[in-house]
Structure 1
Amino acid sequence: MQSSHHVPGFTVRLADPESGQQAGSSKPSESRLGKSFRARRRNRHGRGLRGELMLPTLPGYRTRSERFDEMVMDSAQRLHDIWGKPLDGVRFAVDEIPQGLEQLVADRTPAPMGLYEPATADEGPVITLYRRVIEQACGSREELQDLVHDVVVERTAEMLGVAPETLDPVYRRRY
C-alpha cells in the first residue's frame, strides 16, 4: 500500500507480508487458470453475484487492518508536512505483533507498541507499529487514532534525536 503526496519523492510504504515472494516463483498465469472468481461474477445463465455486498461509502467496507494502515499513513503524512526533508526515505511498517511476544509475556514485560530500526547500507530507516498491541491498549476509535499518532511521533522523534513535543505540537494533547 502506498500513498503519494504533492511533494515529489515522499511515499509511505506499509510492510506487506505477501510481497516477499521467493526467487524464481511467479504467479500462475490467468490464461492457465481461467478467469478469477471476481472477474467471473456471473455464471453462464446470468445468475450469481451482481455487485459488491458493501458499498465503499459505508463504514464496514474497509477492514480494521486497512483502517489502521490509513491512520499510520495519515500520521506519517502529517509529520512529513511539518518536517519535510528529514523524513524522506523513511518507511513506516505495520506488523500484527512484535517478535518474541511469548517471551515478553512470560517475563511480564510490557509489549512494545512500535520499533525504530536505523538505516542500513541497503535500505533507509524503518518505523514499525504493532497493530494488535496498540489496539489492545485502546477502548475507542478516537483513542486508537490518538495512540497511533503518538507512537508514530515517538518513534520518529527517536529516529531524529529530538523530543517528541518539539516534533509535533499536538503530541499527547487530546482533543
Structure 2
Amino acid sequence: MRGPAFGKGPWAPKGVPAARTRSERFDDIALRVMRVVVAPWLDRLGDLELAVEEVPVIPAGWSNTSVPLASYVEKSAAGGPRLVLFRRPLEHRAEGVLELETLLLTVIVEQVAEVLGIPAEDVHPGYEAD
C-alpha cells in the first residue's frame, strides 16, 4: 500500500507527495496553471503575483448568492498587482484533481482577461466557456 494512508513517517518522509497537505497540493496546481496562462502576457501584466487565501472575506451587505472564487487586487503602495484565489470555494466545486485544474484554468483565464480587457478565449487556447 502506498500514498496518503501512510501519513508522515519513514515510508512518506517530508517532501514526498504522500506527506503533502491539501493546501500544498492546491498551491502547486495553481502555480502550474498560473505560469502557463500568464507566460504569454508578462509584458502587459508586469509583476503579477499569485496569492491563495482559504476563503474570501464577504462584506455584511453582500447580496450575491454565490461565493467569489478569485479576486484581483490592483497595484498599490503596499505591493504589486495580485491575483487572489480562494482555495476552499474552488476545492468545494471540484470533484477531483483534474476537475480542480480545469476550474483553476477557467478562473485564472477569466481574471487575466478582465485585467487585460480582452476576451477570455484570446488569453489561453485551452479555455472553454461554460
- SS of residue paired to 2:67: coil
Identify the residue that residue 71 of structure 1 maps to in structure 2.
Answer: 29
RMSD: 2.4
Identify the residue that residue 101 of structure 2 maps to in structure 1.
Answer: 145
- SS of residue paired to 1:76: helix
Q: Is the 1:116–1:158 Cα contact (8 Å) retained in structure 2?
A: no
In structure 2, the CA distance between the partners of 1:108 and 1:72, relative to structure 1 (3 Å rule), is: same
Matching of residue 96 in structure 1 with residue 54 in structure 2:
yes
In structure 2, the CA distance between the partners of 1:57 and 1:121, relative to structure 1 (3 Å rule), is: closer
Q: Is the 1:114–1:128 Cα contact (8 Å) retained in structure 2?
A: yes
- SS of residue paired to 1:128: strand
- SS of residue paired to 1:67: helix
Identify the residue that residue 129 of structure 1 maps to in structure 2.
Answer: 85
Structure 2 unmatched ranges of 5 or more: 1-8
- Alpha-carbon distance in 1 for matches of 2:83, 2:50: 5
After the TM superposition, which segments of 4 or more aligned residues of structure 1 sit over 6 Å from their partners?
A: none
Structure 1 counterpart of 2:34, one-letter code: A
Give 1 or 2: higher helix fraction.
2
Deviations 1:97-128 (A, max 9, x none): 00027865xx5610010001122244221111
Q: Is the 1:101–1:111 Cα contact (8 Å) retained in structure 2?
A: no
Q: Which has the larger radius of gyration?
A: 1
What is the TM-score of this pair, normalised by structure 1? 0.61
Structure 2 counterpart of 1:100, one-letter code: I
Quick one: percent identity of the two aligned structures? 32
- Alpha-carbon distance in 1 for matches of 2:59, 2:27: 21
- Alpha-carbon distance in 1 for matches of 2:86, 2:61: 16
- SS of residue paired to 2:104: helix
Residue 138 of structure 1, CA deviation? 1.0
Matching of residue 82 in structure 1 with residue 40 in structure 2:
yes
Residue 161 of structure 1, CA deviation? 1.1
Identify the residue that residue 154 of structure 1 maps to in structure 2.
Answer: 110
- Alpha-carbon distance in 1 for matches of 2:77, 2:66: 31
